Structure 1
């Protein structure tokens, strides 16, 4: 039996088990290509959170990382949420704990806490708003200007939001995603030299995002060809744009979907090494095992979920 035949057989079995269990398969844009191809909903963190909140399925199989499955579990306490690999974590979510956040809040009494969705349930429970890269600017703009803001945990996204909103009373936690932080300005410069006519798509978590904003403001990067976007908006922009070549500064997994949507266009990663090992842990075999053996059920303590739910609902409703 060939590899293609084996995969085809596993996919058929996954479809059968999905029907048996009334399950939905949610997958992030950074997943392996074969996982993206079988997903019922494929998207960024905000799109997947909304899909989890709206689904009528009994079982949610989350092909992403741990904090995403936690968010789905908090939105659906009556449903079964499965994460096919418990080791699928997130270096950014690990960069702040609930205890650290409580200590930070004590230093800034009365401040509004805006937490990126890449955080644990315990951190979300200590926050006033959650956000994703696609609505972080809208959420900060919705907060009264006289309110001090604690933004966490990603320093690159925080810097982008601060620059976009002009908020001077905004404090930023010094956390980072090790994959996005590894996409440096010199990577972008090198690829731009090789592809001078390409549009540049930059995720705001990237280590090159701050320099890209500065270079745009100085006229060194053309504003009409440089776009700082969430993964979901990168997909939309690359589909709608008249350009035929794009440099993509984010985790390379998204290029599979970009190429699939736009077979006539060319997509070049800013850094070919920008691969998240956690996002690549989930395989077809693990998805099948999850459905057959109920692996691995993700739950959140009721008191934590209750505290966190308001911040998550605010994230879903804005932007």
Structure 2
């Protein structure tokens, strides 16, 4: 079976749209209607007129699409494609945490469950986190969850004294500072660019810090330079596609693995076969409890409004 041809046929027959994150395998990125970061994917999900949204990403991303499109069918190629960062913030524990600080505005990073979004005042992504935090009056205390590394980066950039939830992304905490320094010694002309989910000692080495789309834009604007890229290695596909002559090296991970880089096991659970199957069978579908969906929608809409 020609999976590309069959997926394109089904997509047309069913009026479906395929949204994919930069961390997906290259062949899924290539067949997607839109490839982007969490902010761009949320914006595309909010504006699509498709009947079916095939979300090639992880569970919280598909949930966000369902929150924005309750009447549409939202499918995820592999229902087990989760997120270590989202898992680090259990709803019951976070509810108890926020109740202890009722005067705080609750800002949550989009990498969290629908239940956590429903406990929030506003949602952010790495693309707009600084803008979102700066939109809150300086005298208003803030809880930021679930990523402590992104939260610490925002504190360093804005000077805001935020209360941080102790969560993290295993992919962005997998980078080895020792190996990175050795790699940079070997390639001193390569500039280090990093995602703000990385630990502070990694960010301290970076020439540029930004979201996945921000990193791609930075490389595009400096295509004649060379880079070491500290985020999930899937981003290199789109970067190299757009800037084929730019030399890119993935930042090294602590553990030895086949790619010597940091990869998200959950993102790589989606395959072309699973993408075809979920489009063919319109399953597995993402469902969100209506009460939770209504509460989670408000902070997402606030984010989208501020991001215009």
What's the TM-score, normalizing by structure 1?
0.92
Cα distance in 2 for residues equivalent to 1:251 and 1:305: 29
Which deviations, in whole Å up to 9, do the C-alpha atoms of 1:138-177 show, x marking residues without a partner? 0000001111101001111000011111002x11111111
**Among candidates 86, 92, 102, match of residue 85 of structure 2:** 92
Residue 127 of structure 1 aligns with which residue? 120
Residue 292 of structure 1 aligns with which residue? 280
CA contact 1:114–1:151 (8 Å) conserved in 2: yes
For residue 244 of structure 1, report the CA deviation from its aligned partner: 2.6
**Among candidates 213, 217, 228, match of residue 236 of structure 1:** 217
Which deviations, in whole Å up to 9, do the C-alpha atoms of 1:168-223 show, x marking residues without a partner? 2x11111111111111322321221111111211000012xx1255x4xxxxx5xx
Cα distance in 2 for residues equivalent to 1:79 and 1:187: 46
CA contact 1:32–1:253 (8 Å) conserved in 2: yes
CA contact 1:31–1:253 (8 Å) conserved in 2: yes
Matched, 1:195 2:183: no
**Among candidates 111, 115, 121, match of residue 108 of structure 2:** 115
For residue 242 of structure 1, report the CA deviation from its aligned partner: 4.5
Residue 303 of structure 1 aligns with which residue? 291
Q: Which runs of 5+ in 2 are unaligned?
A: 253-259
Which deviations, in whole Å up to 9, do the C-alpha atoms of 1:99-125 show, x marking residues without a partner? 111111122121000100010000000
| Partner secondary structure for residue 262 of structure 2 | coil
Residue 261 of structure 2 aligns with which residue? 273
For residue 273 of structure 1, report the CA deviation from its aligned partner: 3.1
Matched, 1:42 2:30: no
Cα distance in 2 for residues equivalent to 1:104 and 1:184: 32
**Among candidates 239, 244, 249, match of residue 263 of structure 1:** 244
Cα distance in 2 for residues equivalent to 1:232 and 1:86: 25
**Among candidates 45, 51, 54, match of residue 58 of structure 1:** 51
Matched, 1:175 2:167: yes
Aligned residues: CA RMSD? 1.2
Cα distance in 1 for residues equivalent to 2:61 and 2:202: 28
Residue 74 of structure 2 aligns with which residue? 81
For residue 315 of structure 1, report the CA deviation from its aligned partner: 1.8
Q: For this pair of structures, how many residues does the alignment match?
A: 300
For residue 277 of structure 1, report the CA deviation from its aligned partner: 0.7
Cα distance in 2 for residues equivalent to 1:310 and 1:73: 14
CA contact 1:121–1:304 (8 Å) conserved in 2: yes
Cα distance in 2 for residues equivalent to 1:63 and 1:114: 26
**Among candidates 164, 186, 196, match of residue 178 of structure 2:** 186
Cα distance in 1 for residues equivalent to 2:224 and 2:183: 16
Cα distance in 2 for residues equivalent to 1:113 and 1:188: 35
Cα distance in 1 for residues equivalent to 2:289 and 2:134: 32
Cα distance in 2 for residues equivalent to 1:134 and 1:162: 16
CA contact 1:198–1:243 (8 Å) conserved in 2: no
What's the TM-score, normalizing by structure 2?
0.95
